[in-house]
Structure 1
Amino acid sequence: MRHDKRSRQSLIQEIITQQAVQTQEELSEILAAKGMPATQATISRDIKELGLIKVPYQDTHRYALPDDHVLGATRDRLRRLLREVLTGYTVSENLVVVKTLTAGAEVVSEAIDKMDWPEVVGTLAGENTVLVVARSKDDAPRLASRLDELR
């Protein structure tokens, strides 16, 4: 059975928030036990794309989600993501439709949400498109400018 990247990465996030995972090998074993086996290379790539960090745990370290309050890291991550996956965007009324490479929309959407920009009501991600809802027609072009600044 083929598992998609989005489901696997979601499961990884769930796993590391529920238990202390210290190594990629341990994560691989847990994923396999949950019916979603993945190669070490895939897990390594997922860890990088999810921005997972190692934090102190007892006398060693464990994987964790990046601190949502670290705006600088989020801005750097969004900048990297946009450079890698953004293919364009269109502004229409109070909406900004962001086009990405295949499978790039979810991580871009999450990164935009974490930026906590006052103009953004919310985002909705598909496979290669992010719908960013702005508070007003005047805010949508400001969002587009923010995207341009990060590229």
Structure 2
Amino acid sequence: MKTERHAAILDIIQSKDIETQEDLAEELRNHNIAVTQATVSRDIKELRLIKVMGANKRYKYAANTRANAVQMERLVRLFKESTVSVDAASNLIVIKTLSGSANAAASVVDAMHITGIIGCIAGDDTILVILKEVSQVESALQQFKEMMK
């Protein structure tokens, strides 16, 4: 639920000028996501949103790309340090990790937004990545292997 709400918030602030927490809460409700002002406030902190000057000379919420870049760098390092192997079969990729690391590594897979991935499932030490087309597997596989270097 929280992940979906965070994704919705990022989509909303990219497509609309959102000036206040109340505006953001209203937009989330318009997207059928029930929230309180306190929840929106926590989400803003967790997403590290900042206020920037909009074209209309009014401040609006925006994603802090520097914070996102630092966070992604940490996630990639975590993926590299915890991944043991990557292999493919048909339209599936199986990523083996150190015990207890699959969920964290799967969050990197999700954050990469690799073309063709329609979902991934993480266990304790294994991630199953499902791609829409077999033709997309090799490209995704190469991206994972590159991250392991």
TM-score normalised by length of structure 2: 0.53
Superposed displacement of residue 79, structure 1 = 2.1
In the alignment, residue 130 of structure 1 is paired with which amino acid? Answer: I
Q: Is the aligned partner of 1:131 residue 2:128?
A: yes
Residue 144 of structure 2 corresponds to 147
In 1, the alpha carbon distance for the partners of 2:90 and 2:101 equals: 24
Q: Judging changes above 3 Å, is the alpha-carbon distance between structure 1 residues 94 and 73 closer, same or farther for their aligned structure 2 residues?
A: farther
- What is the aligned partner in structure 2 of residue 82 from structure 1? 79
CA contact (8 A) 1:95 1:134 kept: yes
User: Deviation of residue 107 (structure 1)?
Assistant: 0.7
Partner Cα separation in structure 2 for residue 146 and residue 94 of structure 1: 15
- Residues 85 and 104 of structure 1 are in contact (CA less than 8 Å); yes or no, is this contact kept in structure 2? yes
Q: 1:149 to 1:72 in 2, by over 3 A?
A: farther
Distance 2:97 2:134 in 1: 23
Q: Identify which of 28, 32, 46 aligns with 1:64.
A: 46
TM-fit CA distance, 1:116:
1.4
Give, in angstroms, the shift of residue 81 of structure 1. 1.4
1:64 partner amino acid: E
Between the two proteins, the alignment pairs up a number of residues equal to 93
2:22 corresponds in structure 1 to none
Which stretches in structure 1 are left out of the alignment for 5+ residues?
A: 1-12, 18-56, 58-62
The Cα RMSD (Å) is 2.8
CA contact (8 A) 1:74 1:111 kept: no
AA at the equivalent of 1:101: L
* SS of equivalent to 2:134: coil
Post-superposition shift, 1:64?
A: 2.7
Partner of 1:109: 106
Instruction: Work out which of the two has the higher radius of gyration on C-alpha atoms and give 1 or 2.
Output: 2
Secondary structure, aligned partner of 2:130: strand
Q: Which has the higher helix share?
A: 2
Q: Percent identity?
A: 24
